[in-house]
Each structure stands twice: as C-alpha cells, then as structure tokens.
C-alpha cells in the first residue's frame, strides 16, 4: 500500500493500520507467552522451523538425570501419578477410564461412560490444559481424575516419561464442546486451589496462575509441509502448533524487513490479533473458533 508517497508492506504497512495491543495483561500465562515471544525474536536463526519449535517448546523444564532415571517410561509415570492416591481412588480411576493408546511420548485414556466420544467430523476439539508443577502431580492426581470424570472429558493424555511431564502441557483433557470444558474447569479450580502451577504459554488462562487453561485443536488437516518439526511429519496438529506457526511466520517476515527485538514482537502480536486471537489473553475470537471448526 502507498503511505506518504511510498509503497510499503508487511510490518510497515501494518504499523499504520493496526493499533498496538493494550497494556500487557497481568495474567501469569500472558507474561509467560510474551517472554517466549521475546526470546524467539532474539534467536540468531531466521529459520521458520527453528523459531516455530522454540515457541512451541517454551516453558519446558530441564530434563535432569534425576528425573530421567525416576521416570523413564509409561509404567514409571503411572506409578508416580498414583503414588499419592489411596487404593479406592485407583480403583475408581480404572472403572472410569480405559487405556486407549500408548506411545513413547503420551499415555492416553478414554472415558468408559456411555456416550463419551470425540466431536463429530469437521468439528474442533476443545482441550483443557491441567498444568501443575511436576512435584504436585502425585498429590493432585486423584482430584484431577475426579474432576475430569465428573466434568465429562472424553479423553485424557499425560506425558509418558520425564521429558513429557516436564513440559508445561503435561496433562491434557479433551472435550467435544466449550461448555463441557468450562464446567470441568470449574470443578477442578476449587479441587486444585493452592497447588503450584507450571503454566502453558499461548493458551487462554482459566485459573490458578496458569494451573488451568484452554485451547482448541482445529478440525481437519492443517498440516503445513513448510514445518517439519512435528514429530518427524507425523499427523499431529494442535492449537499451540497453529499459533506457534503464525507467530513464527510474523517474526521471520519482520526480520526480513529489518525489524528485530521489540519491533518484531509488536508485529507478531498485531498479526495474530488480526487473525482472531486476543494477544493479551490468547483467547480465540468467535469467528476464528467457527473457522477452526469450534461450535458450542
């Protein structure tokens, strides 16, 4: 577009059209997300793949030898999770949830209750991130399971080893509707009150200084061959993958036009805001939710 007698594009054009985001939110996840974006903007590499992965991996705790030896696989993780639960709680968990899938990275359980099913084809999946500090998991596990069972989650996944549990998104529950997710989050918020949180960047905070937050997995296949860091090209796509790619593209574009540091961050925040994501709360707008397949 032409501005002051010259043609401009990208960050320079957007600067004249879009208002800057308001004051930074005081929420814990907003601060974590902004810090992750600033760190990505400061990377020496200008490769889209590297920047996108840096954003997606933000917030992971170091994989120390102690944790690696303590939690080497799924069996060790399950024993760790249940180490703080009395026997009746363990039996209730087995009665309500059945193992559905296990990989080197995740343990999955599907709800046994009648009618528990993923959303219909073409609809997005809503996901509740339950992100306590790793040390809190054994004492919080029974309360988490109870809340998700009563709240109507149809599936739960947990990191299958130390690396998985040191991720901020170590435990994710899946829902067919936004209303079901909100109801489950209400149940969990008071059950987990006072627990230390880890916090998942680039998700919409619900409660507990990042202890609970949400996002949605887009319906359909949004795989982009330009990004190969997704499990070696495996079919996996999520809200945070999508956001990391949008933000990385903006940072790369800003750098190509000579923007760096705070200027590149401002451009990325403006661009993601125009895409329909509130850059202060990381909440998708209603139009974006519909575009991604989100309904109720």
Global pTM reads: 0.87
Q: Which of 47-51, 120-124, 217-221 is least confident?
A: 217-221
pLDDT at 61: 97
Mean pLDDT confidence for 215-228: 60
* Mean pLDDT over the full length of the chain: 86
Render pLDDT for 157-187 as a digit per residue (tens, 0 to 9): 999 999 999 999 999 999 999 999 999 999 9
pLDDT at 217: 85
Closest C-alpha to 257, from 8, 3, 1, 2:
8
User: 191: which 2 tokens?
Assistant: 């059950």
229 pLDDT more than 50 = no
pLDDT at 25: 54
Mean pLDDT confidence for 69-97: 96
- Structural domains in the chain, CATH included, are 25-59+236-296 (no CATH), 65-198 (3.30.2430.10)
Give the Cα separation of 57 and 248 in Å (integer): 13
- Percent of the chain topping pLDDT 90: 67
Mean pLDDT confidence for 124-136: 94
104 pLDDT more than 70 = yes
In 33-183, DSSP assigns E strands to 97-102, 106-111, 125-130, 155-159, 171-175
């Amino acid at each position: 577009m032409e501005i002051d007698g010259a043609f401009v594009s990208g960050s320079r054009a957007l600067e004249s059209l879009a208002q800057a985001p308001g004051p930074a939110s005081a929420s814990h996840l907003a601060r974590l997300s902004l810090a992750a974006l600033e760190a990505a903007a400061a990377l020496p590499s200008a490769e889209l793949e590297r920047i996108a992965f840096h954003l997606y991996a933000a917030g992971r705790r170091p994989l120390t030898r102690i944790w690696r030896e303590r939690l080497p696989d799924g069996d060790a993780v399950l024993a760790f999770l249940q180490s703080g639960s009395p026997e009746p709680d363990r039996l209730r968990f087995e009665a309500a949830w059945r193992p559905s899938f296990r990989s080197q990275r995740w343990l999955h359980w599907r709800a046994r209750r009648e009618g528990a099913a993923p959303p219909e084809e073409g609809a997005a999946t809503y996901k509740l991130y339950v992100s306590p500090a790793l040390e809190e998991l054994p004492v919080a596990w029974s309360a988490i399971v109870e809340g998700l069972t009563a709240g109507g989650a149809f599936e739960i996944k947990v990191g299958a080893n130390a690396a998985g549990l040191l991720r901020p998104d170590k435990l994710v529950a899946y829902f067919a509707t936004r209303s079901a997710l909100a109801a489950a989050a209400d149940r969990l918020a008071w059950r987990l009150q006072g627990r230390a949180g880890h916090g998942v960047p680039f998700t919409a905070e619900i409660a507990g200084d990042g202890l609970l937050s949400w996002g949605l997995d887009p319906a359909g296949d949004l795989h982009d061959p330009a990004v190969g860091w997704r499990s070696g090209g495996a079919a996996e796509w999520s809200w945070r993958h999508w956001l990391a790619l949008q933000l990385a593209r903006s940072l790369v574009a800003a750098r190509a036009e000579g923007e760096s540091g705070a200027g590149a961050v401002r451009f990325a925040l403006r661009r993601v805001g125009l895409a329909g994501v509130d850059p202060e709360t990381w909440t998708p707008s209603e139009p974006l939710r519909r575009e991604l397949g989100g309904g109720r």
